[in-house]
Amino acid sequence: MKIELESKAVLSGQHFLNGDVACAEGALAVGCRFFAGYPITPATEIAERMARRLPQVDGVYMQMEDEIGSIAAVLGASYAGVKSMTATSGPGFSLMLENIGLAIMTETPCVVVNIMRGGPSTGQPTMPGQQDVMQARWGSHGDYEIIALAPSSVQEMFDLTIEAFNLSETYRVPTFVLADEIVGHMWERVNIPSAKAIQVVNRKKPENPPSEYAPFKPDEDLVPPMASFGEGYRFHATGLTHDENGRPRTDSAEVQQRLVQRLCEKIRRNADKIVKVERILLEDAEVAVVAYGIASRAALSAVRKARAQGIKAGLLRLVTVWPFPDKQIEKIAQKVKALVVPEMNYGQIVREVRRVAKETPVVFMSKLGEEPHKPAEILDALRRL
Amino acid sequence: MPVRIWREPLDADKIKVSKAEIHILKDQCKGCDFCIEFCPKQVLETSEELNIKGFHPPIVIDESRCVLCDFCTAICPDFAIFVIEKDCKEGC
Amino acid sequence: MTEKSLELKHPYERFLRKERMPHIWCEGCGNGIILNCFVRALDELNIDLNNVVVVSGIGCIGRISGYTNTDSFHTTHGRPIAFATGVKLAKPKLKVVVISGDGDLFAIGGNHFIHAARRNVDITVICANNFIYGMTGGQYGPTTPLEAWTTTTPYGNIEHAFNLVHLAAASGAVYVSRWTALHVRRLKESIKKALQKEGFSFIEAVSQCPEIYGRYNKMKTAISMMKWFKEASEVRNFSDPAKAEISPDKIIVGEFVDIEKPSYGRLLREMKAKLKTKQK
């Protein structure tokens, strides 16, 4: 088969792509030059696109022996100074979790895309799910904070992959793109802007000489500047609890306290800068839907239909799932009579919404298997409130 | 023990035999005794002294026997011993 | 020995993170010897330390990356080879060395080992094989000899051991050797050779764990374990690695494989260069 040879990293222009491919293009556009992965439905198209595109832009596509090796290689490449990513689905994501913990502990910028399918276990590989959102937040052991974004369109697969890299580089934290299988496999129009118009954030580099470099000494924003291997800094990183010099400190409660606290606080304190939501028709809303990913598309349609029928409905679409948009939801929960949360799982984000909504009633709409929520079903729920 | 010499090398007066200077970083020693055990010339022995960590570091019994093979430097797991060639410009 | 000892620096001090010494390893442990051999190899090759990356996994020897005065990374259990693969491919100018244990590389990390060897990723892997999980207190592992006593084989080990040099050779490594911690010169020479070799090179350094292996297996001290190495070792260069199984009375050591094969990095570069001419 002859393949078309692009040579540009940013394929500016209008394209008709599926979500997985748009995700790969977003990564390339923001400067990702290393991908290590393992084939898995429904994320394989990302690997395939990267295998074709990365060598064209002097990058490296690496197909590892499993997902554990994939994420480990991604971390290695990132420490060598190259923006890196992997893409997988539930079973692979489960395998990656230990090294995601290592990425958190060693503050390794990297992006992990999880095109969510039905679980648990092998579940329904070709069917959509939103069942990994809590796993993304809590799956690795220990206390930590991560960032997770939930695209709901093919355009957003492109845009939010860029955003994920930028956040990951800014905060030195693994950042997840949590898309469901429908968004990953759906074909839509994508506008890829010019290279100049794409905002690219690179990790902070140390300004002091190697002799004064403490690899885990944070600046005021709680994020330490990051040297790369081979730059003469000769520093050590470890998954063990470590002090600011990277020296293992398995004996000090104080060091453990300070490190874990900082790893969490660098995200919590910057939550306002990280969190993004889309507010639709919420100004005068009396009832509202809180949704993300594929479920938010049906919710939008339902909200519009409800408005047409005289119901003052609105939609809060979560673009950022983690850190959780507490403030944004709280504000709406205080205004409306009730909230509806449709999710393609058996109740995950709804728990967070209930925690924040406090007294405001929250109606949960579960959906498992092939079909996403129908607008009519959500409309029905809005009408019954 | 007297050294038994079978034959005097013909160029014995021209060849300068290197002399060793053995350095022991006492407090780095963990007392494994490898340097003592595997020294081909039995230059070292265990000392009575206790170091900061509570181990008995080696002590040099006869530096002149050392042939600078450097095996002790190489086998020390703790980088606690090394040998250098003596500066014999002014005789030693 | 003179008072000068206090002023003089150890000749290999510049290769070590002095502030982290003494290392955590027990008295008589072979890990320190392996570290010693490794830094002497670096010294003799005169490699720019800024271009060396040491990657290790979990276990006693896993701490080695914290002691070398190079860029270094202490990964999760079993994953140093996969991590090192990422480092090497992302920045090919770096010399990437994995130093880890038998359990880390061949039990939990076995899959990464065979695949990195198959791909011929241009890294050097040094395995400290002490026949046991030392850090966790002496459980049997993939190289524990039959009948050995460990805390999880209280009635004697009934699992067959891996022959690491055979496994490495069969997986495609371009350079394979085995030495014991007593063979400090040959081990150092072997490390030098491996570091200069293009492709996946593997060195098994048979190492002693007197504390929780030797003591329970009729070798009461570190010295008695070293004497075992001395008596049981037989140098047989380029003999069949399949026949080099370690047994209580024989440890066949030597170089087993030294072949040429294009590394993954080279093939990748060539593929990209070809692509570039097509793009024009």
Tell me the β-bridge partners of A62: A36
Nearest-Cα distance to chain C for B11, in Å, is 30
pLDDT at res. A298: 98
- How far is Cα of residue B86 from the mean position of the Cα atoms in its chain? 12
Residue B3 has pLDDT above 70, yes or no: no
What pLDDT is recorded for position A11?
96
Q: Which of C32, C207, C210 is nearest to B78 (CA)?
A: C32
- Residues of C within an 8 Å Cβ radius of B: 1-2, 4-5, 8, 10-13, 16, 21-23, 25-33, 35-37, 40, 182, 184-185, 188, 222-223, 226
What architecture does CATH give domain B30-85? Answer: 2-Layer Sandwich (3.30)
Write the CATH number of the domain with boundaries C11-279: 3.40.50.970
Does the domain at A278-384 match CATH 3.40.50.920? Answer given as yes
Contacting residues for C93 by C-beta, under 8 A, at least 6 apart: A230, C51
Render pLDDT for C35-76 as a digit per residue (tens, 0 to 9): 999 999 999 999 999 999 999 999 999 999 999 999 999 999
Quick: pLDDT tens for A131-179: 999 999 999 999 999 999 999 999 999 999 999 999 999 999 999 999 9
Q: What is the largest CA-CA distance in chain B?
A: 50
* Element holding B22 (H helix, E strand): strand B20-24
Mean pLDDT of B59-87: 95
C40 vs C52: CA distance, rounded Å: 14
d(C-alpha A88, C-alpha B7), whole Å = 78
For A75, the closest of C69, C86, C111 (CB atoms) is C86
Q: What is the pLDDT of residue A4?
A: 60
- Binned at pLDDT 50, 70 and 90, residue B2 comes out as low
Domain A13-197 in this protein, CATH class:
alpha beta
Q: Where are the beta strands (DSSP E) in chain A?
A: 13-18, 34-37, 60-63, 84-88, 110-118, 124-128, 147-149, 174-180, 187-192, 236-238, 277-280, 287-291, 313-318, 320-322, 338-343, 362-366
Same fold, A13-197 and A278-384: yes
Look at the block and give the residue holding tokens 């190899």.
C41
Residue B87, pLDDT score: 82
Q: Tell me whether residues C36 and B79 touch, CB distance under 8 A.
A: yes
In the block, residue with structure tokens 């809303």 = A285
Average pLDDT over residues C210-225: 95
What band does A1 get if pLDDT is binned at 50, 70 and 90? very low
Average pLDDT, chain C: 96
Checking if the pLDDT of A51 tops 80, the result is yes
pLDDT category at A96 given cuts 50, 70, 90 is very high
Predicted pLDDT at C211: 94
Of C216, C121, C102, C215, which Cα lies nearest the Cα of C164? C102
Q: What is the mean pLDDT of residues B63-86?
A: 96
pLDDT of A204 strictly over 80: yes
Q: What is the mean pLDDT of residues B65-72?
A: 96
User: What share of residues in chain C are helix, strand, coil (percent, to 5)?
Assistant: 40, 20, 40
Give the Cα separation of B37 and B53 in Å (integer).
21
Domain positions in chain C? 11-279
Q: What is the pLDDT of residue C279?
A: 78
Distance CA(C243)–CA(C252), nearest Å, equals 9
Cis peptide before A42 (omega within 30 of 0): yes
pLDDT at C207: 98
**Chain B residue closest to C6 (CA)?**
B25
ipTM surpasses 0.85? yes
Residues of chain C in contact with residue A58, where contact means CB-CB under 8 angstroms, are 272
With contact defined as beta carbons under 8 Å apart, do C89 and C268 qualify? Answer: yes
Chain segment A216-270, per-residue pLDDT in tens? 999 999 999 999 999 999 999 999 999 999 999 999 999 999 999 999 999 999 9
Tell me the average pLDDT across B42-71. Answer: 96
Nearest in space to C177 (alpha carbons), one of C186, C231, C185, C31 = C186
**Could you report the per-residue pLDDT of C78-118, keeping only the tens digit for each?**
999 999 999 999 999 999 999 999 999 999 999 999 999 99
The 10s digit of each residue's pLDDT in A303-347 is 999 999 999 999 999 999 999 999 999 999 999 999 999 999 999
- Which pLDDT value is given to residue C1? 45
**Sign of the torsion formed by the C-alpha atoms of C91, A64, A51 and A46:** negative
Listed by start position, the domains of chain A span: 13-197, 278-384
A82 contacts chain C (CB < 8 A): yes
Q: Per-residue pLDDT for A3 more than 80? A: no
pLDDT at residue B11 in the model: 85
C6 pLDDT above the threshold of 60:
no
CA distance A361 to A347: 15
DSSP 3-state assignment of A118? strand
Check CB contact of A313 with chain C, cutoff 8 Å.
no
The DSSP annotation for A18-83 comes to EHHHHHHHHHHHHT--EEEE---TTTHHHHHHHHHHGGGGT-EEEE-SSHHHHHHHHHHHHHTT--
Percent of chain B scored above 90 by pLDDT?
A: 72
Nearby residues of C275 by Cβ (< 8 Å), 6 or more positions away: A5, A55, A56
Average model confidence (pLDDT) across chain A: 97
Whole-number Å distance between alpha carbons of C212 and C28: 12
> In this prediction, what percent of chain A has a pLDDT beyond 90?
98
Chain A residues lying within 8 Å of C84, measured CB to CB: 76
- To the nearest whole Å, the CA of B7 is away from the closest chain C CA by 31
